[in-house]
Structure 1
Amino acid sequence: MQPLKTTGHSEKVRHTPQARSIREVVFGVNDGLVSITGLVVGVSASHMGSHQILVAAIAAVVAASVAMGLGQYLSTVAQNEYFLAERSREMREVHEIPQEEVAEVESIYRAQGFSHDQVEMLTRHITADKDRWVDFMMKEELGIVLDSMDNPWTSALIMTLAVIAGSLPPVLPFVIDTNTTTALTWAIVLASVAAFSLGVLKSIVGRTSWIKGGLQFFFVTAIAIIIGIAAGHGLGALLT
């Protein structure tokens, strides 16, 4: 008998929780880095003092981290509710139209390359227990593994900490140095280095070109800096 095969789809499902965590970290850090860098540069260009810039930046960090964390919590809750609703639907179909569900199990095994006898044996095994049957259909037909559902509070915490971490490079210089010009220079340098490093990290995890990944994140941050400078000068001109 040939060994049970694992489809590329189920392989993707197994790695989904880790992929989501990586996505949350990258998204959160990048959001904090880009948004706070743009804000710091913008308010600096409007000729605010170092203390005012720091207060504005901290307020923005708090607002952004709370908003992103709560948004992540709500989206995770919605996702989990969808998963559970799909399981209820599959369980109902197993009870109401078992013949069609058995045919679907057989077609899945045939697609994986099993012989006719193996398909019959595996189908009997799966369909002998309705919970196992439903879990199989959830994974193979819908790509959902209930054991991999995220904890909403954990996801929210990860997102919140990621946003705060991304906000540190453009904010810390204003904590350390009260000279606005010096602090702004260091904020831009640190934000640029952090953006490039984040892109490299993302590329290493995704096994893509680290140079391309680093430059992508660097240019996004550079755009935020340019827009921040333009907005800051415009705001400064309007207020004077």
Structure 2
Amino acid sequence: MHDIARPPHIEGHFESTDVVRDVVIGLSDGLTVPFALAAGLSGVVASAHIVVLAGLAEIAAGSIAMGLGGYLAARGDAEHYASERLREESEIVERVHDEEEEIYEIFEQYSVDRISATPVLEALKRNPKAWVDFMMRFELGLEEPAPNRAHRSALTIAFSYIAGGLVPLLPYMFVQDASSSLRLSVIITLLALALFGALKGKLVGTGWLRSAVQTVTIGGAAAAAAYFLARLLNAHHP
């Protein structure tokens, strides 16, 4: 009797977590901050043109600031990884016994006794690079950053911020009355927030409905707070 060939097992893990994180950071802030600014200005000015100009200025400044922040964060991660790797490379030479004990301690966390872990340790000792890789991953919990990660992070966050920021401004570009534009902006932006939240939840596996509701709630609350604060301050302005 012949064995029936089984199809290859393909695991469906989503691996582009860094890219998703950068897109989420850029889009969420891009949708929320200009939306809140436009809503706040709509409470005190009647000209949609002014709202558009202020919104575009904020998008330009915000995308640069967010992109720079992403660049510095990614550079910091890369420098931290390089520094820790140099330290580990030194320790497996100068403090061999301590590093061996750390290997045993790591395996103990997975209920692997010393006798079973010894062959793995001996194999790692014959390959210093693999030993360092193992310690970086399982002792320190650090993954090597991808090449040019800082530049890609900066560009991804900046362009995501711009894309998100233009959404709430679209009605103001075509409707001259700021009050009417605000109503359209609320509808469009909340729909965009819901779609973005659902897609994010689907990608990262947290549930599309929960993520959509959470994103809409946060974005809507920020815009409402800005709008009513602007109206309140304008009412008390002499």
TM bucket normalised to smaller: 0.7 to 0.9
Which residue pairs with 2:230 in the alignment?
Answer: 232
Q: Which stretch shows the higher mean deviation, 107-116 or 226-235?
A: 107-116
Deviation (angstroms), 1:21: 2.1
Deviation (angstroms), 1:235: 3.9
1:39 aligns with 2:50: no
Which residue pairs with 1:207 in the alignment?
Answer: 205
Counterpart of 1:221, as a letter, is: G
Cα 1:224–1:109 change in 2 (3 A) is closer
Which residue pairs with 1:134 in the alignment?
Answer: 132
For 1:143, what is the secondary structure of its paired residue? coil
Which residue pairs with 2:23 in the alignment?
Answer: 25
Which residue pairs with 1:56 in the alignment?
Answer: 54
Deviation (angstroms), 1:108: 3.0
Answer yes or no: is the 8 Å Cα contact 1:21–1:155 preserved in 2: yes
Which residue pairs with 2:157 in the alignment?
Answer: 159
For 1:145, what is the secondary structure of its paired residue? coil
1:183 aligns with 2:176: no
Q: Distance in 2 between the 1:59 and 1:31 partners?
A: 15
Answer yes or no: is the 8 Å Cα contact 2:46–2:177 preserved in 1: no
1:101 aligns with 2:111: no
Report % sequence identity.
27
Q: Distance in 1 between the 2:145 and 2:33 partners?
A: 35
**RMSD, aligned CA:** 2.2
Answer yes or no: is the 8 Å Cα contact 2:78–2:145 preserved in 1: no
For 1:46, what is the secondary structure of its paired residue? coil
Q: Distance in 2 between the 1:131 and 1:41 partners?
A: 55
Answer yes or no: is the 8 Å Cα contact 1:173–1:184 preserved in 2: yes
Q: Distance in 1 between the 2:169 and 2:113 partners?
A: 63
Compute the TM-score of the two structures, normalised by the length of structure 1.
0.85
Which residue pairs with 2:5 in the alignment?
Answer: none
Answer yes or no: is the 8 Å Cα contact 1:46–1:235 preserved in 2: no
Q: Distance in 2 between the 1:150 and 1:112 partners?
A: 34
Q: Distance in 1 between the 2:188 and 2:31 partners?
A: 10
Which residue pairs with 1:198 in the alignment?
Answer: 196
Cα 1:116–1:41 change in 2 (3 A) is closer
Compute the TM-score of the two structures, normalised by the length of structure 2.
0.86
Answer yes or no: is the 8 Å Cα contact 1:65–1:159 preserved in 2: yes
Cα 1:116–1:141 change in 2 (3 A) is closer
Q: Distance in 2 between the 1:55 and 1:122 partners?
A: 63
Answer yes or no: is the 8 Å Cα contact 2:104–2:114 preserved in 1: no
Q: Distance in 1 between the 2:108 and 2:227 partners?
A: 60
Which residue pairs with 2:4 in the alignment?
Answer: none
Q: Residue deviations 1:181-229, cap 9 Å, x none?
A: 3322211111110111122112112323322211111111221221122
Cα 1:178–1:48 change in 2 (3 A) is closer
Deviation (angstroms), 1:115: 6.7
Deviation (angstroms), 1:114: 5.2
Q: Which stretch shows the higher mean deviation, 52-61 or 175-184?
A: 175-184
Q: Which runs of 5+ in 2 are unaligned?
A: 1-12
Count of residues in correspondence between the two structures = 226
Answer yes or no: is the 8 Å Cα contact 1:80–1:150 preserved in 2: no
Cα 1:42–1:111 change in 2 (3 A) is closer
Cα 1:157–1:121 change in 2 (3 A) is same
